[in-house]
Structure 1
Amino acid sequence: MTVNRNRCRPISGPVFHHTTFATLKLDEMVEFYKKVAGLEPVFHGKGGAWLTNDAANHRIALLALPDLIPPENKGHTSGLHHTAFEYDDFEAWVDHYERLAIEGIEPFMGLDHGMTMSMYYQDPEGNGVEIQVDNFADWRSSKEYMRTSQDFSDNPIGEYFDPVKVVAARADGLSHAEVHRRAMAGTYRPEAIPEVHLPELW
């Protein structure tokens, strides 16, 4: 039978639903995602946990599979780099950083990508977790920025920032727009530029 491949393509793509991680540290992972991404377990058993922070049945699945082995040089191998979560507004995003910092949970990297300001954490397995805020407060505009901006084309990684300096700027009364402008100008650059590679935890 001859198949018309054009007709086989879906009319619309599916919506992203969840990410699944195999883990040797199930309980630690559940607690981490509770604190960092507000994910509560819908089910948490001996062999796995399924967590969500919205109406979906789960957004992160954690499987404690038998016979797992620790990864080697995880931060420098191909595969998933990070999973991202987004705040709707700048104030909540900065508050979240401060709340985690009090508990000793610090990002290993801060980047202003142009369309988002993002802080990158690591879960207990060494997977990256991005907590971001959209600089345009509108996906349509931030998508257009990525599509058409020469600045983004020239430097899609963006500018590094020190979260402590961003917190200080917010405390001084600077707006999200002004903090973003200064971050992109390098005003909040950290003393030591971190690696984009995930830090090796294993």
Structure 2
Amino acid sequence: MKPTLDHPGDQVLPPTKLAHVVLRTNNFAAMRDYYKVFLGAHPAFEKDNLCFLRYDDEYHRIGLLGIPQIGAKNPATSGLEQISFTYKTVMELALAYLQRQKHGIEPYWCVNHGPTTSMYYKDPDGNNLETQVDNMDDEGARAFMESEAFQTNPFGVDFKMEDLIARLRAGESEDSIKKMPESGPRGMDSVPL
């Protein structure tokens, strides 16, 4: 039965998309400048200690709220683990990597998770940012996450970005590059945080 206002049902209607993320910081200028470069973003609004950045058709994707009197982020407590940004192709992921590198922004972890090929960065406050390309369609990713391979290694296989770029330059297909190499078990203790 289709939900109505008189009989809404028990399951919550999911949103159509994630609109934006707002981060509070005591390091406003560094965070603002970092996200402008990291995302190739420009301000939709910027004043004093408030900035809304956009990089696509949404009026803003990242908001930054500067609160000088708050303490620094404590990575030893609960909170947001990461924000992830998707690219359409491996080539786009590699180009963005090289462009960020020119600004001194380097990933701390490059990994093929199976469903995605991903790179992880830290912003000036220590928040984790993932850039990724989907290796599979949604159905393939769901099936992979139910597989024995994922049960054995839910984290993936590390790679060096220079090797991935060399494979692209050599003309290897993106489908081949996206394929996760076989691996053995991998636990949380092997994941850089």
TM-score when normalising by structure 1? 0.80
Which of 34, 41, 45 in structure 2 is aligned with 1:39?
A: 41
Task: Give the SS at the match of 1:43.
Answer: strand
Cα contact 1:115–1:145 (8 A) shared by 2: yes
Structure 1 unaligned spans of 5+: 187-192, 198-202
Match of 1:167 in 2: 165
Cα contact 1:120–1:131 (8 A) shared by 2: yes
Match of 2:140 in 1: 141
User: Are 1:196 and 2:192 counterparts?
Assistant: yes
User: Are 1:179 and 2:180 counterparts?
Assistant: no
1:91-146 per-position Cα deviation (integer Å, ceiling 9, x unaligned): 1111111111222211000111000000001111110110000112x334333432
Match of 2:186 in 1: none
Mapping of residues 68-79 of structure 1, within 5 Å: 68-72=70-74, 74=75, 76-79=76-79
Cα contact 1:109–1:194 (8 A) shared by 2: no
2:158 and 2:85 map into 1 onto residues whose CA distance is 19
Match of 2:62 in 1: 60
User: Judging changes above 3 Å, is the alpha-carbon distance between structure 1 residues 194 and 36 closer, same or farther for their aligned structure 2 residues?
Assistant: farther
Task: Give the SS at the match of 1:184.
Answer: coil
Match of 2:98 in 1: 98
Task: Give the SS at the match of 2:9.
Answer: helix
Give the structure, 1 or 2, with the largest relative contact order (CA under 8 Å, sep 6 or more). Answer: 1
User: Judging changes above 3 Å, is the alpha-carbon distance between structure 1 residues 78 and 184 closer, same or farther for their aligned structure 2 residues?
Assistant: farther
Match of 2:14 in 1: 13
1:120 and 1:34 map into 2 onto residues whose CA distance is 17
Structure 2 unaligned spans of 5+: 1-6, 184-188
- Letter in structure 2 aligned against 1:92: E
- Letter in structure 2 aligned against 1:31: D
Cα contact 1:135–1:176 (8 A) shared by 2: no
1:173-196 per-position Cα deviation (integer Å, ceiling 9, x unaligned): 222222233x5247xxxxxx9743
Match of 1:114 in 2: 114
Indicate the larger mover: 120-129 or 49-58: 49-58
Cα contact 1:108–1:194 (8 A) shared by 2: no
Identity of aligned residues (%): 30
Q: CA RMSD in A?
A: 2.4
Task: Give the SS at the match of 1:118.
Answer: strand
1:148-176 per-position Cα deviation (integer Å, ceiling 9, x unaligned): 32212221111111112211222222222
User: Judging changes above 3 Å, is the alpha-carbon distance between structure 1 residues 23 and 114 closer, same or farther for their aligned structure 2 residues?
Assistant: same
Shift of 1:8: 5.3
Structure with greater proportional helix content: 1
Match of 1:189 in 2: none
2:177 and 2:58 map into 1 onto residues whose CA distance is 34
